[in-house]
Structure 1
Amino acid sequence: MAPIQPGQRVAVLADSQNLYHSAQSVYSRNIDYSSLLEKAVQGRELTRAIAYVIRAQAEDEDSFFDALRDIGFETKIKDIKTFGDGSKKADWDVGMSLDAVTLADHVDTVVLCTGDGDFSRLCNHLRHEGVRVEVMAFGESTAEELIEVADAFVDLSEREETFLL
């Protein structure tokens, strides 16, 4: 796969739930999305930056969504689903995957900001299509199979002063 070059077109897809839970469980801190985006792009040409978020009716939620947009992320918002048994579910795996496959024809690199191993098949598919795949996540909560199939892995834990607020 091609190394990082200035002219590369990049799409950054951030699984906000996965990043949030990892940052909270390991550090009890939040993600610095501005630094995340800057490192993901690395001087290349940003085509799209999408943050996939869940609306959980939490305090300060709307200001967080606004902040993401101010930084340069397009936000895709899904409401949390509560089932009859009281369990809750919300994830963007299918939506992120569809967007990545759709964007593949328009970019050279897709940066997946998630540690979710469910995306390893997506990585294989994108690489098969000739797209460079980079993963940015916390090493201790990233699936081994995802790290193995990515062209590059940035461990956010190695630079917590950069990536955490």
Structure 2
Amino acid sequence: KQLGDLIGSSAATISKYENFGGYPRDPEWIRKFEEALELPIEVLFPEQHRRMVELRNSGLLKKEVHIVKEVFELPEHFVYGTNLLEDPEIMYERKERNEKIKRLLDGSRLTEREIKILKMIYFEEKTHMEVAEEFNLSRTRIDQIESKALRKLRHGFSPCYRSFREFLKEKIDRREI
């Protein structure tokens, strides 16, 4: 409530930001946040936070989210404003995870366009709007293509999906996820 009063925002809006419901995009709001908290916006809302918001707002079904969850999984000791690449162990884990997911995509029955869209969103960390512009499609159409591709993976149309699912099950059994 105090932060909301300080920057002229409601407590509900601040709560939404805290719970991955959104992040300030308006330059004026960004300036207010930075001044009120004396921190740059990149520290307050790092890329990981913005990606979680985009994932949450993309309309993915909960069952589809588990497929890409590891891409966005943050370590338990993650602290906002830190660089994940500073820790070699985290860097190695991220590289291994990304390689496994890339193998899943490359060995799937997805179309080249679906694979390229998923890679742009999840590995190149492009926004849906940036991907839409590159393909000369609407953001909504990119969302549809992404959802369809994830649905294909979820339903096991890909032979690689089973091994990926087993990999995730092992991680869950060992309490690594």
State if a TM-score over 0.5 links the two structures. Answer: no
User: Could you state the TM-score of these two structures normalised by the residue count of structure 1?
Assistant: 0.26
Structure with bigger RCO (C-alpha 8 Å, 6+ apart): 1
| Greater strand proportion | 1
Rg: which structure is higher? 2
| Greater helix proportion | 2
